[in-house]
Amino acid sequence: MSQSASVLIVDDEPNILRALRRLLRSETFRVLTTSSGEEALEILADEPVNVVVSDSKMPGMDGAELLSRVQASYPDCIRILLTGHHDLEAVTRAINEGHIYHYIAKPWHDDDLCFILRQAIAFNQSERERKRLEALTQAQNDELKRFNSELEARVDARTAELSEIANQLDSAHETLKHSYVTTTRVFSSLINMRLPERHQTNSQITQVIKGFLQVHPVEEGLRYDLLMAASLYNLGKLSWDDHLLGLSSEKMFGDDRERYQKYPETAGELLMALEPLHGAAKLIRHHQERWNGSGFPNHLKAEAIPWGARLLRLSVDFIELQRGLMLNRNVSRDNALMLLEKLAGRVYDPMLSRELVTFLHDHAPDMGIIDASVMALSTDKLEPGMILLRDLHSKAGHLLLNEGRELTAGLIDKLISFESTESIRYTLLVRLPDEEALIEDETET
């Protein structure tokens, strides 16, 4: 992390500012503090700031207004809201008006707050680098166009050189795209940090949908919306009290039941503030609708329910049944499949239910298509050159390695060392190097 990075903390309570200064004094970034939104804007006008952390309730300019003005004048500055557990209105305003990166509930957990700030600074710096690369790419594109117009007469002689430049631009674009996807996965892992371990279902649901779409492909836009929805479908649960997070939906009554039924709508409204996630927001909003019209929040029926929302509902229920999040017990995989079939025509789209159940009968519940080159291995059996096929998270929900990463001897040694330190064992879904897969195929033949 850069030594020049800085965090500005805004809170009208001196004891809060003193507590945060003490907590963050060992961090590598610089900490600035002030007690009002007006003073914060003056500081921002005088010097660069990477992250602004603002209390939600302050006299005069409140946190939502301050972060909205920061977003308008300093859009590259990461914005974080510090708020009470039940202040959902302030959180919603800050997201809609200030486009905040995160919100932190009072009282905070010291380790979580420090981690969020480090991640925010890292994200800010990666976004700056991304924009620098985009500007470089645009400049190279402009230069390429100028060369094409000026050197038209010598096209044949310069074909090889132009081809090499085009390859470099493609590589830069792929690097930027990969960086954006990785950032989204980190955000999903931050959601998991708020949820109990058995509620951290995003990864398994994503793998079910990803595998199903390999057999039943859809257009790329819908595929993107489905995968984003699978990663963020439980965003609306972040405002729940801890006791509600520990209940299965079967055990929720009265006010608890009412709050449970609002989580898809809450997540959909939050994500509608982000234009690239409008499609995913619609799928999340309607993924608890029922085929017979008895679902929520809008009691949509049959084909009126978006197809992607129907698939998301089936995938969510398949995993959550096995985790004990729906009934007050863990349901076996076979019984979960039986329930998807039994409730087809009432809760689920009957045709889509049959297709998904057929797929899940033939494949692992949380993996895609398995072939001879794909294996689930412990760390002591990993070899350099293998490709990771599923994101690897720590026990705390942090992203350790992202899907598509090629394993090296150094990475494998670090994983083994990490296991020893954390007293945990990992099993990784990997694809063998091409030559090993060919040898295995020939042996089976």
For domain 6-119, is the CATH number 3.40.50.2300? yes
The per-residue pLDDT for 39 is: 93
Taking residues 383-395, what's their average pLDDT? 83
* Share above pLDDT 90 across residues of the chain, in percent, rounded to a whole number: 37
Mean pLDDT on 226-246? 87
* pLDDT for residue 398 is more than 70: yes
CATH of segment(s) 195-362: 1.10.3210.10
Q: pLDDT > 70: what percent of the chain? A: 81
Listed residue (92, 124, 127) closest to 271, CA to CA: 92
The one-character DSSP state at 284 is: H
Q: What is the pLDDT of residues 120-156, one digit of tens each?
A: 898 888 888 888 898 898 888 888 888 777 766 666 6
Q: Using CA atoms, how far apart are residues 252 and 315, in angstroms rounded to an integer?
A: 21
pTM of the model: 0.47
Do the beta carbons of residue 428 and residue 379 sit within 8 Å? yes
Mean pLDDT of 56-73: 89
In the predicted model, is pLDDT for residue 440 greater than 60? no
Which of 222-226, 357-361, 374-378 is modeled with the greatest confidence? 222-226
- The pLDDT of 91-119, averaged and rounded, is 81
Mean model confidence pLDDT for the chain = 83
Q: Average the pLDDT over each of 193-197, 270-274, 361-365, 381-385 and give the range with the smallest value.
A: 361-365
Least confident stretch, 122-131, 189-198, 240-249, 403-412: 189-198
Q: How confident is the model at residue 308 (pLDDT cuts 50, 70, 90)?
A: very high
pLDDT, position 437: 40
Mean pLDDT computed over 76-95: 75
Q: Are 358 and 421 in contact (CB under 8 A)?
A: no
In 3-state terms, what secondary structure has residue 281? helix
**Rounded Cα distance, 281 and 288, in Å:** 13
pLDDT confidence band for 66 (50 / 70 / 90): very high
Q: Which residue in the block uniquely carries the two structure tokens 């009290």?
A: 241
| CA gap 210, 204 in Å, rounded | 10
Q: How many helices (H) and strands (E) does the chain have?
A: 16, 10
| CA 402/CA 410 separation, integer angstroms | 16
Section 382-402 average pLDDT = 82
Helices (H), 36-154: 37-46, 63-73, 88-98, 110-150
Buried b (16+ CB within 10 A) or exposed e, 354-389: ebbbebbeebbbbbbeeeebbbeeebeebeebbbbb
Least confident stretch, 2-11, 39-48, 292-301, 370-379 = 370-379
The token duo for 411 is 């990475």
Of 176 and 203, more confident: 203
- Between residues 387 and 168, which one has the greater pLDDT? 387
Tokens read off for 185: 């996965």
Q: What is the mean pLDDT of residues 407-417?
A: 91
Residue 243, pLDDT > 80, answer yes
Q: Give CA separation, 285 vs 124, 211, 320, in Å.
A: 29, 23, 18
Q: Which two tokens stand for residue 109?
A: 């957990």
Which of 2-6, 68-72, 128-132, 153-157 bottoms out in mean pLDDT, i.e. has the lowest? 153-157
Q: Is the pLDDT of residue 367 over 90?
A: no
In this predicted structure, the answer to whether residue 42 has a pLDDT above a threshold of 80 is yes
Mean pLDDT (whole number) for 172-193: 57
Pair of tokens at residue 409: 């001897």
Q: pLDDT by residue (tens digit) across 220-234?
A: 999 999 999 998 898
Q: At a CB cut-off of 8 Å and minimum separation 6, what does 67 contact?
A: 52, 54, 79, 81, 94, 97, 98, 100
Rounded Cα–Cα distance for residues 331 and 249 (Å) = 14
Query: What are the residue boundaries of the structural domains of the chain, listed by start?
Result: 6-119, 121-181, 195-362, 374-444
Which element (helix H / strand E) includes 263?
A: helix 254-271
Calpha distance 261→238 (Å, rounded): 14
Total count of residues recorded for the chain: 445
The residue assigned the tokens 């519940």 is 365
- Token pair of 386, please? 């293998």
